[in-house]
């Protein structure tokens, strides 16, 4: 019975996700501001060739070698910047300028101009072919040299010696190289809200922060991660991310799939948000499904799950204390009943978030050292 019901629910959610994809293809979301993945071709500038030239002045018609060296090609850099929030402005191609060729009279060629690309903090640069992570730009100011420009060629004056003052030899400039890269943005937040579509994550984020994500009574309202800041005493603050909802099979890229899962990898803590009013799943079934998806995608993520929030308590209409206690015994995690809509128990939630994040941060530091 449960398997048949789960299949029906999964079909319904997949249909909703397909509808989102169809609307995107029609252009409904073409103007959306958030882009978290791009494939980029990068080429370093070529070095300039060395010059073959001989000094001429007055009566000297065939003097010693004076050919200059070629200029070095321009390099390409990625730099993390706090003011950049999305990869939307990232171009498909970047190329460092070529160095100019050497000239006579010992004049060296000009160095090609370097190209610096600003990307958001939390950007990961991968080699498309091998999948190897080349750079992880976590903090503002982090800088990565994607490709170095080619070296400038040597002019013939560099080959002159005591025995041969007029060599005719020079060298060509070096090739700048080329790379195909996948650039990903992974949201950086202290807390990630994880749950099924329409579980009330966006409403909860509105309740505990000043963020204003879209709220509506249909699945996949949140298509992009939304981050808000919870203010504490003095200058204490933590960042909370509302991650796009996942469905069974998200680890296989169903629904919003990897778009969702990619953004929870950086969160210090993960909070399950369960909908107690769901007509399709009990809160225990929702918990089991979320656990399964994280385990199949990356088992290490389960260690980050710190709390379980049972949302929409104002609409439950019945005593659910027994159900909450049963879930707490099974999960071994603290269960916090809340109502994002009516702000019920949200102050206690904020206090608990600061406690949990502080504890996780200390544990991470101890494990590091």
CA–CA distance, 266 with 162 (Å, rounded to integer): 63
Instruction: Specify whether the CB–CB gap between 124 and 133 falls below 8 A.
Output: yes
Q: What are phi and psi of 335, to 5 degrees?
A: -110, 125
- As a CATH number, domain 2-31+188-368 is 3.40.50.300
Which pLDDT value is given to residue 218? 40
H or E segment to which residue 125 belongs: strand 123-127
Q: Which two tokens stand for residue 200?
A: 């009330």
The pTM assigned to this predicted structure is: 0.64
Q: Where in the chain is the domain with CATH 3.40.50.300?
A: 2-31+188-368
pLDDT < 70: residue spans in the chain: 1-34, 187-188, 211-225, 234-235, 245-261, 317-319, 363-369
Which pLDDT value is given to residue 119? 92
Considering the segment(s) 37-185 as one domain, its CATH architecture is Distorted Sandwich (2.70)
**pLDDT (tens digit per residue) in 187-237:** 667 888 888 887 888 888 888 887 665 554 444 444 566 777 888 776 678
Residue for token pair 């398997």: 3
Q: Where in the chain is the domain with CATH 2.70.210.12?
A: 37-185
**pLDDT (tens digit per residue) in 38-68:** 899 999 999 999 999 998 887 777 788 999 9
């Amino acid at each position: 019975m449960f398997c048949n019901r789960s299949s029906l629910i999964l079909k319904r959610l997949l249909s909703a996700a397909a509808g989102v994809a169809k609307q995107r293809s029609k252009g409904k979301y073409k103007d959306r501001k958030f882009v978290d993945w791009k494939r980029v071709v990068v080429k370093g500038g070529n070095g300039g060739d060395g010059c073959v030239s001989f000094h001429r002045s007055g009566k000297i018609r065939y003097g010693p070698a004076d050919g200059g060296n070629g200029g070095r090609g321009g390099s390409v850099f990625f730099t993390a910047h706090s003011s950049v929030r999305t990869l939307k402005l990232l171009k498909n191609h970047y190329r460092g300028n070529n160095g100019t060729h050497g000239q006579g009279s010992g004049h060296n060629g000009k160095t090609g101009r370097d190209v610096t690309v600003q990307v958001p903090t939390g950007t990961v640069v991968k080699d498309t072919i091998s999948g190897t992570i080349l750079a992880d730009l976590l903090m503002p100011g982090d800088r990565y040299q994607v490709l170095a420009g080619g070296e400038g060629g040597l002019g013939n004056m560099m080959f002159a010696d005591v025995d041969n003052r007029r060599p005719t030899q020079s060298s060509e400039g070096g090739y700048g190289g080329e790379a195909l890269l996948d650039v990903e943005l992974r949201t950086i937040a202290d807390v990630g809200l994880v749950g099924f579509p329409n579980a009330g994550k966006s409403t909860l984020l509105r309740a505990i922060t000043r963020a204003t994500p879209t709220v509506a009574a249909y699945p996949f309202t949140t298509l992009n991660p939304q981050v808000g800041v919870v203010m504490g005493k003095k200058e204490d603050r933590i960042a909370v991310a509302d991650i796009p909802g996942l469905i069974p099979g998200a680890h296989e890229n169903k629904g919003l799939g990897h778009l969702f899962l990619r953004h929870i990898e950086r969160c210090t803590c993960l909070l399950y948000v369960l909908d107690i009013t769901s007509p399709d799943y009990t809160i225990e079934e929702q918990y089991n499904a979320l656990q399964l998806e994280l385990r199949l995608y990356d088992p290490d993520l389960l260690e980050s799950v710190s709390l379980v929030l049972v949302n929409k308590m104002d609409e439950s209409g019945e005593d659910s204390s027994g159900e909450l206690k049963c879930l707490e015994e099974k999960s071994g995690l603290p269960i916090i009943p809340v109502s994002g809509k009516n702000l019920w128990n949200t102050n206690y939630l904020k206090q608990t978030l600061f406690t949990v994040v502080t504890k996780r941060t200390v544990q991470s530091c101890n494990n590091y050292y």
